[in-house]
């Protein structure tokens, strides 16, 4: 089995080196591997450090020791934008769309940086720039209609500000925007949290789209165990700064350890 992401011996504490005590480490020699082209769920109690782990991977959390390897190259201390360009996409916990921007602009911004974004480029190379923009808009339309059908409200209301959408719709838009970036690895932080049940099936199909349609790897954090069982092929369980169980979701979630600490049984 080929791995796409390798984390080895990660240590992180939020207090300075001098006062470090064993018990205050958020990560203690945490290591994990993520299989390529699979959907893996990362599960753990509130405050276990799941979001922080995503922050380490995407370069937003500094100060961790250890190594993060992505597709064979080390990304440990790279800037977030460089990590994104290498192919790691991220869905934040919460809504996080650009509220003042139109729905279409939100989609287009999801595509990785390009020469078009140099100031006055569109004044100097008008045709080229317009053609490129058009390409991005077509891509946005294609993704939206593939995910939500050809008469979806996102495309119909594309010139309206994204902030007008309901929370659930903003979440769907954020998922669709992620697909604009052609990432190889998607990090999804609680995609279904706070979302009305009517949207969950659409979120599930967006994730399947990422995975089976474009053969991309998905690592998702979830508290919805039904969703985890339904979506994931692998499950990682995080506790006390480590991954303490890994395997098929049913096996991991049924193990005594997890039952005791997570489900509180």
Ligand X SMILES: Nc1ncnc2c1ncn2[C@@H]1O[C@H](COP(=O)(O)OP(=O)(O)OP(=O)(O)O)[C@@H](O)[C@H]1O
Give the interface with ligand X as residue ranges (CB under 6 A): 14, 26, 44, 46-52, 93
Note the helical H segments in the chain. 50-57, 80-86, 103-109, 121-124, 126-148, 153-156, 167-179, 197-208, 225-231, 249-254, 256-261
Could you report how far apart the first and last alpha carbons of the chain are, in Å? Answer: 34
Is the Cβ–Cβ distance between 91 and 207 less than 8 Å? no
Q: In terms of CB distance, is 173 or 235 closer to another protein? A: 173
Is the Cβ–Cβ distance between 193 and 95 less than 8 Å? no
Q: What is the dihedral of CA 249, 251, 257, 262, to 10 degrees?
A: 30
Please give the Cα distance from 49 to 239 (Å, whole number): 8
Residues that contact Mg ion, how many (by CB under 5 A) = 1
Applying CB under 8 A, which part among 17-25, 61-69, 114-122, 206-214 lies near another protein?
114-122
Assess 55 for contact with Mg ion (CB under 5 A). no
Q: In terms of CB distance, is 51 or 106 closer to Mg ion? A: 51
Assess 113 for contact with another protein (CB under 8 A). yes
Q: In terms of CB distance, is 15 or 118 closer to another protein? A: 118
Handedness of CA 136, 138, 144, 147 (dihedral sign): negative
- At closest approach, how far in Å is the CB of 29 from another protein? 27
Q: In terms of CB distance, is 2 or 21 closer to ligand X? A: 21
Q: In terms of CB distance, is 32 or 143 closer to ligand X? A: 32
Q: In terms of CB distance, is 93 or 261 closer to Mg ion? A: 93
Please give the Cα distance from 228 to 216 (Å, whole number): 18
Assess 51 for contact with Mg ion (CB under 5 A). yes
Applying CB under 5 A, which part among 49-57, 73-81, 144-152, 192-200 lies near Mg ion?
49-57
Note the helical H segments in 11-57. 50-57
Q: What is the dihedral of CA 167, 171, 173, 177, to 10 degrees?
A: 150
Applying CB under 8 A, which part among 7-15, 97-105, 220-228, 247-255 lies near another protein?
97-105
Is the Cβ–Cβ distance between 231 and 241 less than 8 Å? no
Applying CB under 8 A, which part among 39-47, 84-92, 214-222, 232-240 lies near another protein?
84-92
Distances (CA, A) of 198 to 192, 194, 203: 11, 12, 10
Assess 117 for contact with another protein (CB under 8 A). yes
- From candidates 44, 49, 168, 181, binder to another protein by CB under 8 A: 181
Assess 129 for contact with another protein (CB under 8 A). yes
Assess 160 for contact with another protein (CB under 8 A). no
- At closest approach, how far in Å is the CB of 188 from ligand X? 12
Rg (CA), the chain: 20
Question: Contact residues for Mg ion (CB under 5 A)?
Answer: 51
Question: Contact residues for another protein (CB under 8 A)?
Answer: 58, 60, 79-81, 83-85, 89-90, 92, 96, 98-101, 105, 108-110, 112-114, 116-123, 129, 133, 181
């Amino acid at each position: 089995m080929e791995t796409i992401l390798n984390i080895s011996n990660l240590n992180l504490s939020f207090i300075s080196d001098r006062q470090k005590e064993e018990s205050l480490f958020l990560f203690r020699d945490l290591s994990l591997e993520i299989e390529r082209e699979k959907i893996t769920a990362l599960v753990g109690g509130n405050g276990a450090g799941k979001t922080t782990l995503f922050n380490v991977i995407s370069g937003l959390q500094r100060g961790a020791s250890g190594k993060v390897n992505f597709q064979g190259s080390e990304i440990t201390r790279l800037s977030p934008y460089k990590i994104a360009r290498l192919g790691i996409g991220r869905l934040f916990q919460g809504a996080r769309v650009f509220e003042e921007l139109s729905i279409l602009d939100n989609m287009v911004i999801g595509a990785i940086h390009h020469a078009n974004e140099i100031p006055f480029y569109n004044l100097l190379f008008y045709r080229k720039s317009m053609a490129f923009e058009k390409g991005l808009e077509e891509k946005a339309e294609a993704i939206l209609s593939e995910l939500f059908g050809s008469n979806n409200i996102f495309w119909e209301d594309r010139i309206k500000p994204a902030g007008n959408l309901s929370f659930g719709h903003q979440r769907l838009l954020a998922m669709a925007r992620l697909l604009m970036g052609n990432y190889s690895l998607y990090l999804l932080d609680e995609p279904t949290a706070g979302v009305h049940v009517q949207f969950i099936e659409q979120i599930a199909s967006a994730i399947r789209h990422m995975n089976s349609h474009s053969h991309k790897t998905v690592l998702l954090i979830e508290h919805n165990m039904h969703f985890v069982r339904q979506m994931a092929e692998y499950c990682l369980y995080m506790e006390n700064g480590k991954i303490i169980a890994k395997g098929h979701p049913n096996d991991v979630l049924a193990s005594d350890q997890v039952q005791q600490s997570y489900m509180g049984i």
